[in-house]
């Protein structure tokens, strides 16, 4: 039995691993996605993360493909009560991809579309995908508050917010009696640390905000399967992975290889266990395109790194150890 964790002040309890849905309808077709989702739930997983923009970056796609796959899976399995769906708004405006839009009208339009694709009448966790500096926080948070009060959304969260803007949003919510952001979804892993560590992490700890970071495997680099330039050629995430091809990246992989020998754990398991061990972290997000990958990721839940191993990884991935990824 997988022990669940409280997700900040959201009122949600989740398994300590969140399944990333960005690959559904992209690098995983619908039948494969169904198998992955089934394996995740069978392994004790509870929360599935997606967004309305997934996967608008693919030629011929317009966004919503991942939500559609998940909705078809929910309909096929015939029950909704044992899984939690997190999705996002704000990067797929009605004008297309990359239009950051968190106006009240945009949120109202987007949530209806997401609910329709997901084939459900509520979203467990609804994120502002990226901060919209052009729309007053009062308008954005007021729109989210109406969704919570109407029962369309159980809790709201912020993704890709700075500490200052998240703090400002909390003040606005508290001052107006609005639902507040109770979960943060930042980019965070052994190599991408500076945006979260420090003020943002401290704010989350002080305000009891749950944290479920994405890119826990650094777009696949921390799986260890990319060891040379040729390994990233013609791969869907190859352009991202190459950002880690530097002394710091190789140093982290070397440290992980040593810990893998000590523990018998795989590199993905070690990478996620390190994230899970950080103060204030609720659960990392990781995606999978095969059932075997899901089973490996779920096994990471039971891996506890020693204090010395965590310290070794901290030092290897520290920004001062080399150029930032």
The DSSP code for 97 is E
Q: What is the pLDDT of residue 230?
A: 66
Q: Is 226 marked active-site? A: no
Is residue 215 included in any domain, yes or no? yes
Is residue 148 included in any domain, yes or no? yes
Domain count, the chain: 1
For residue range 94-115, what is the model confidence (pLDDT) as tens digits?
666 555 689 999 999 999 999 9
Is residue 254 included in any domain, yes or no? no
The segments of the chain whose pLDDT lies below 50 read 321-325
Enclosing domain of residue 274: 5-232+268-305
Q: What is the pLDDT of residue 246?
A: 93
- Active-site option among 54, 181, 188, 214: 54
- Residue 95 backbone zone (phi > 0: left; psi -120 to 50: alpha; other: beta): alpha
Q: What CATH number does the domain containing 27 carry?
A: 3.20.20.100
Is residue 258 included in any domain, yes or no? no
Q: What is the pLDDT of residue 324?
A: 36
Q: What is the pLDDT of residue 322?
A: 39
Q: What is the pLDDT of residue 2?
A: 77
Is residue 243 included in any domain, yes or no? no
Is residue 142 included in any domain, yes or no? yes
Closest CA to 283 of 199, 133, 173, 183: 183
Is residue 213 included in any domain, yes or no? yes
For residue range 250-295, what is the model confidence (pLDDT) as tens digits?
999 999 999 999 999 999 999 999 999 999 999 999 999 999 999 9
């Amino acid at each position: 039995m997988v022990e669940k964790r409280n997700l900040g002040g959201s009122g949600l309890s989740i398994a300590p691993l969140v399944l990333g849905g960005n690959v559904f309808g992209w690098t995983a077709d619908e039948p494969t996605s169904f198998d992955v989702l089934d394996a995740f739930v069978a392994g004790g997983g509870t929360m599935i993360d997606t967004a309305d923009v997934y996967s608008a970056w693919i030629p011929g796609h317009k966004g919503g493909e991942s939500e559609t796959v998940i909705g078809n899976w929910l309909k096929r399995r015939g029950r909704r009560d044992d899984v939690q769906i997190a999705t996002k708004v704000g990067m797929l405006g009605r004008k297309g991809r990359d239009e950051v839009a968190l106006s009240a009208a945009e949120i109202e339009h987007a949530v209806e579309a997401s609910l329709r694709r997901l084939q459900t009448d509520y979203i467990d966790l609804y994120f502002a995908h990226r901060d919209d500096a052009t729309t007053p926080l009062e308008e954005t948070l007021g729109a989210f508050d109406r969704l919570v009060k109407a029962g369309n959304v159980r809790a709201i969260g912020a993704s890709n917010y700075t500490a200052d803007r998240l703090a400002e949003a909390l003040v606005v919510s508290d001052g107006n009696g609005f639902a507040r952001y109770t979960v943060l979804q930042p980019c965070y892993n052994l190599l991408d640390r500076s945006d979260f560590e420090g003020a943002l992490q401290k704010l989350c700890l002080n305000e009891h905000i749950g944290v479920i970071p994405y890119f826990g495997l650094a777009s696949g680099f921390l799986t260890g399967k990319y060891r040379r330039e040729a390994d990233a050629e013609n791969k869907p995430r190859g352009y991202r992975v190459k950002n880690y091809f530097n002394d710091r990246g190789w140093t982290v992989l070397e440290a992980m290889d040593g810990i893998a020998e000590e523990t018998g754990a795989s590199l993905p398991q070690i990478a996620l266990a390190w994230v899970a061990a950080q103060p204030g972290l609720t659960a990392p997000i990781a995606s999978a395109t095969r059932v075997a990958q899901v089973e490996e990721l779920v096994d990471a839940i039971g891996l506890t790194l020693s204090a010395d191993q965590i310290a070794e990884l901290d030092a290897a991935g520290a920004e001062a150890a080399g150029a930032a990824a």
